[in-house]
Amino acid sequence: MKRRTKININPKHVLMFCVFISALLIIISLRFGEKLKPVKEAVGSAITPMQRGINVVGMFISDKLDNFKKINELLEENERLKEQVNVLSYENKLLLQDKRELDELRRLFKLDQKYLDYPKVAAHVISKDSDNWYNVFTIDKGTRDGLAKNMNVLAGNGLAGIIIEAHYNYSIVRSIIDDNSSVSGMILDSSDLCIVKGDLQLMDEGKIRVEHIDIATDVKEGAEVVTSHISDYFFEGISIGYITEVKVDASKMTKTAYLKPVVDFERLEEVLIITELKEPLID
Amino acid sequence: MKRLIVYFLEIIICFVIQTSCFRYFALADIMPNLLLILIVSSAYMRGRMAGLIIGFFSGLLVDLIYGSFVIGQYSQSGEYISYSIIGVHALLYLLIGYFFGYTHRFYSYDDYTLPLIIVAISNFIYKFIYYIIEFLLRGRLNFVYYLRRFIIPEVIYTVAASVLVYKLLHMINHHLNRKNEDQV
């Protein structure tokens, strides 16, 4: 057969050729990362619908299974929640009074509500990276829905991550617990700055490391850490988590703490994206 | 030609399952590395050339969708930005595909144990190299932790998955071979 003869290329040559191509790609993507975007876009547009499809089917099935399993649990929970509602509605009343007072004071200070007012878009998490190292995931919204690189991603009421690549119908998000992530944060009580750094090793304990806290700061356990005003990419005042453990560094110049993120990264299914970019300080 | 289309579909299916079924299959946050099973078992069944080609293209696919984040820099406020680099997975996978293609000479039709061992070894090597370029170079020295928490569980899970996946791939390969012989 004619076709057989084609296979007689020496594998060594193909090996050298492919190694050369990959090396070239590494260099190109390092130097001119943006140039390769159309290629990524094309491949991504083909793959993401499949990933989304699998997710829709899978979720449907697991939802149905869960329904059967959880009816009893739900009944119990319902009882418990009803009691809780009573307690909470009383507390809520008190809080509303406080809020009115707060609004009054805010108006006096001419402060507005902070990040509640940013325009947001909701999206589903559709896939996770293929190695188990990273905490990078894709969401099913892209530039088509007004998303762009470096937009902040929230989940529930805390910071989940940042968009590192936006494509036409999907985007890639790096979560703040990723080993590569580092966010400029601020301890809410004392307004002291710190760096919130993800660490793969702490991920299992559900913690993130907080570095570069000034030694003079009195950091209490349970203090809330929010994104800082000097952050280049993150809007100010988004909750990151609560401090659980503080220790003094070996250098005796700074403290390191651990915080428990507000967002539950184990079960991240829906996220909110702030569709505004933080204005860079210098440009 | 038909073989190429089958390869192509295999790569896509493995990638999609590996990335989007994590909610249903992941144990302790670990997913089996289906692409690696595909690459190594093709290399084992078909030789260096097949391993090389499948490795290159599946690595490229991973790179194009996710990339790898080996290099980065700090911004003024201390935030770390890393660049998504294309080609690292492609290079690693193609080398693995090529070198494990040498095991083709031990290929036997009804040996289901050797491929499992090969998959285990290749997965370990892959993760080890990846640990070096991604974590060791950034000063994460606690290798024992990464070994215990990520590398060993993934190897075990991948080997367990490859019991099934290899059988499936083997069937497809056998089917393709038979068709070719029929035509001749």
CATH number for A194: 2.40.10.350
Of B15, B69, B90, the CB nearest to A180: B69
Chain A and chain B share a number of CB contacts under 8 A equal to 175
What angle do the packed helices A11-31 and B88-100 form, to 10 degrees? 170
Q: What is the C-alpha R_g of chain A?
A: 24
Mean residue pLDDT of chain A comes to 79
Is residue A240 situated within a structural domain? yes
What is the average pLDDT across B95-110?
84
- pLDDT band at residue A1 under the 50/70/90 scheme: very low
- The two tokens of residue B27 are 């144990």
Selected residue of B80, B104, B181 to mutate for chain A interface (largest A Cβ count, 10 A): B80
**pTM for the model:** 0.70
The answer to whether the Cβ–Cβ distance between B91 and A26 falls below 8 Å is yes
Q: What is the 3-state secondary structure (H, E, C) of A216-275?
A: CCCCCCCCEEEECCCCCCCCCCCEEEEEEEEEECCCCCEEEEEEEECCCHHHCCEEEEEC
Is residue A201 situated within a structural domain? yes
Percentage of the residues of chain B whose pLDDT score is greater than 70: 88
Is residue A47 situated within a structural domain? no
Q: How far is A127 from chain B (nearest CA, A)?
A: 4
- The two tokens of residue A30 are 């390092």
Sequence-distant (6+) residues with CB within 8 A of B178 are none
d(CA A221, CA B163): 48
Query: What is the domain extent for residue A209?
Result: 182-264
Q: Compute the C-alpha angle A20/B91/B147, nearest 5°.
A: 155
The answer to whether the Cβ–Cβ distance between B91 and A19 falls below 8 Å is yes
pLDDT in tens, A76-131: 888 888 888 888 888 888 888 888 878 777 766 654 445 556 778 888 888 877 66
Neighbours of B58 (CB within 10 A): 29
User: Going from the N-terminus, what domains does chain B have, and what CATH number goes with each?
Assistant: 2-177 (1.10.1760)
What are the two backbone dihedrals, phi and then psi, of residue A23, each rounded to the nearest 5 degrees? -60, -40
Selected residue of B79, B123, B141 to mutate for chain A interface (largest A Cβ count, 10 A): B79
What is the average pLDDT across B167-178?
83
Q: Higher model confidence: residue A217 or residue B125?
A: B125
Is residue A191 situated within a structural domain? yes
Interface of A with B in 25-84 (CB under 8 A): 25-26, 28-30, 33, 36, 39-40, 43-44, 47, 50-52, 54-55, 58, 62
pLDDT given for residue A2 in this prediction: 47
Collect all residues of chain A within an 8 Å Cβ-Cβ radius of residue B17: 54
- The two tokens of residue B50 are 């097949």
Greatest Cα pair distance in chain A: 88
**Res A54 pLDDT > 70:** yes
pLDDT given for residue B141 in this prediction: 77
Collect all residues of chain A within an 8 Å Cβ-Cβ radius of residue B1: 3
Q: Is the dihedral of CA A11, A12, A14, A18 positive or negative?
A: positive
Is residue A238 situated within a structural domain? yes
**Res B14 pLDDT > 80:** yes
In angstroms, how far is CA B51 from the centroid of its own chain? 11
Q: What is the 3-state secondary structure (H, E, C) of A174-206?
A: EECCCCCCEEEEEECCCCEEEEEECCHHHHCCC
Please tell me the total count of domains within chain A.
Answer: 1
Is residue A204 situated within a structural domain? yes
pLDDT given for residue A116 in this prediction: 57
Is residue A150 situated within a structural domain? no
**What is the 8-class DSSP label of residue A53?**
H
Q: How far is A70 from chain B (nearest CA, A)?
A: 18
ipTM of the complex: 0.74
Q: How far is B66 from chain A (nearest CA, A)?
A: 7
pLDDT given for residue A112 in this prediction: 46
Is residue A231 situated within a structural domain? yes
